[in-house]
Amino acid sequence: MTDVIDELHRRGLIALSTDEAALRAHLAEGPVTYYCGFDPTAPSLHVGNLVQFMLLRALQRAGHQPVVLVGGATGLIGDPGGRNSERQLNDREVVAEWVERIRRNVRPLLERPAEESGLRPPIYVNNLDWTEQLSAIDFLRAIGKNFRVSQMLAKEAVSARLNSEAGISYTEFSYQILQANDYRELYRRHGVTLQTGGSDQWGNLTAGIDLVRRTEGAGVHAMGTPLITTADGQKIGKTQGATVWLDPELMSPYAFHQYWLNVDDVDARAWLPLFCERPAEDVAALIAESEERPAARAPQRALAEDLTRLVHGDQELAQAEAAGRALFGRDDLASLDAGTLTAALTEAGSVTVDGELPTIAQLLQQTGLVSSLSEARRTVKEGGAYLNNERVADGDAVPGEDAWLPGGWLVLRRGKRAVAGVRRGA
């Protein structure tokens, strides 16, 4: 059996770690209980969080015990890291709901391997459970005494904000203490000895290590994943300015699948080892194929396939693939049968219209392909609007009777990739 650390290095999942020799020895001794935290700052996890799960899954496959912390408490405070302004505080009820939704995101990622391969299922914890009843006195006396302000100020996340125009509130300044305390609680409650996270969390991870050493006298470990960016320096997981969510209610499996398919060549090759759990030889072969025949987009297809299956399941993957073939294939739309068209457009997104038919511009807006009528008109003017694959000349025209495709559908497209269906109502 190969060393899990070796695998993680091969895949580029480790950017930082505490003493690696010690960590390697620790992991070799037997099952290690490790944790990673996610703050509920949105209703769903997104593609950027997926990197953490690739690491968590690799450790799980190696026989270790994952603990997933959802930050019901820290989500109320706000991590100053990686941002140049203060966070807007969210309401407690909202954060509580997000905690639940995020747990649902995690299920297929860590529970399925447990069910299907007999690996250890994740333990879920919420730091609100031990943070909420902490009194200000206890917090300051029992925990705060262990922190030196000079060290806290030196953390990148804090100093960056101190040097920014926005500054930093005492609330967010305290964040690292809360996260450090989480590590200590999990060490006590579950024997956690390894925390993983993004390398932008490094200051918070080491704060926890210091606290555990100081108060428990134990040496515990941390591992940081690299920050994944596109070739031009953007954060991973944005498409058309929107976030690529894992929750199917926020982003359809079809759109999720399309996102990976559209990743550019450079990024696809770079990301493949990170996100693809296939054998090393297969990954290398896919990259080699991409160099030779980039148009085949082998890495993109592998990413789309593996990740859609991982996050949404086999059935959703099959539907997303079929929809993509139908909408982007070379076949004439009119030659598609009603069933295929219906399945494809349902995946892609559609609206139903009854009664009097709106203009094409209005339909573009109703399907969400554009956000305003002005934008619809502009798109038509720019030659970027298509009805049934034919460029629209007049946005104020109403589609004719002959435009309806089998099953009672109109296919609207904006630009090359954004497609939506309009279905005739009763």
Residue 338 within binding range of RNA, rule CB under 7 A: no
Residue 383 within binding range of RNA, rule CB under 7 A: yes
Among 155, 269, 312, 377, binds RNA (CB under 7 A): 377
Angle at 280 between CA 233 and CA 32, to 5 degrees: 85
- Which residues does 87 contact at the CB level (< 8 Å), separation at least 6? 41, 78, 79, 80, 172
Residue 389 within binding range of RNA, rule CB under 7 A: no
Residue 300 within binding range of RNA, rule CB under 7 A: yes
Residue 418 within binding range of RNA, rule CB under 7 A: yes
Near RNA by CB under 7 A, which window of 52-60, 105-113, 196-204, 260-268?
260-268
Nearer to RNA, 119 or 236 (CB): 236
Residue 235 within binding range of RNA, rule CB under 7 A: no
Residue 101 within binding range of RNA, rule CB under 7 A: no
Near RNA by CB under 7 A, which window of 130-138, 279-287, 291-299, 305-313?
291-299
Residue 414 within binding range of RNA, rule CB under 7 A: yes
Nearer to RNA, 118 or 355 (CB): 355
Residues contacting RNA: total by CB under 7 A: 42
Among 7, 20, 111, 265, binds RNA (CB under 7 A): 265
Shortest distance in whole angstroms from residue 98 CB to RNA = 23
CB neighbourhood size of 389 (10 A): 12
Q: Is 175 annotated as a binding residue?
A: yes
Residue 262 within binding range of RNA, rule CB under 7 A: yes
Near RNA by CB under 7 A, which window of 17-25, 44-52, 96-104, 258-266?
258-266
Nearer to RNA, 312 or 377 (CB): 377
Residue 59 within binding range of RNA, rule CB under 7 A: no
Shortest distance in whole angstroms from residue 420 CB to RNA = 12
Reading the block at residue 370, the tokens are 């554009």
Which of 110, 104, 37 has its CA nearest to residue 70? 37
Shortest distance in whole angstroms from residue 419 CB to RNA = 9
Q: Is 238 annotated as a binding residue?
A: yes
Give the strand pairing for 385-387 and 390-391.
Answer: antiparallel
- Which residues does 248 contact at the CB level (< 8 Å), separation at least 6? 256, 312, 316
Shortest distance in whole angstroms from residue 374 CB to RNA = 3
User: Alpha-carbon torsion 87, 90, 94, 97, what sign?
Assistant: positive
Helix (H, G, I), strand (E, B) or coil at 349: coil
Give the strand pairing for 33-38 and 192-198.
Answer: parallel
Q: Is 354 in contact with 378 (CB distance < 8 Å)? A: no
- C-alpha distances out from residue 129 to 34, 89, 273, 361, 393, Å: 19, 19, 37, 51, 60
Q: What are the φ/ψ torsions at residue 144 (nearest 5 degrees)?
A: -60, -30
Reading the block at residue 118, the tokens are 């007999």
Q: Is 235 annotated as a binding residue?
A: no
Shortest distance in whole angstroms from residue 290 CB to RNA = 8
Binding mask 1-40 for RNA (x = CB under 7 A): ----------------------------------------
Q: What's the rounded Cα separation, in Å, for the pair 38 and 106?
A: 10
Q: Is 37 in contact with 75 (CB distance < 8 Å)? A: no
Near RNA by CB under 7 A, which window of 29-37, 138-146, 191-199, 376-384?
376-384
What does the chain come to in residues?
426
Q: What are the φ/ψ torsions at residue 270 (nearest 5 degrees)?
A: -70, -35
Helices H / strands E in the chain, number of each = 21, 13
The residues that bridge with 93 in the sheet, in sequence order, are none
Backbone Cα Rg of the chain: 25
Q: Which residues are annotated as a binding site for ATP?
A: 238
For RNA, the binding residues (CB under 7 A) are 162, 165-169, 232, 234, 239-241, 258, 261-266, 294-295, 297, 300, 324-325, 328, 365, 371-375, 377-379, 382-384, 414-418
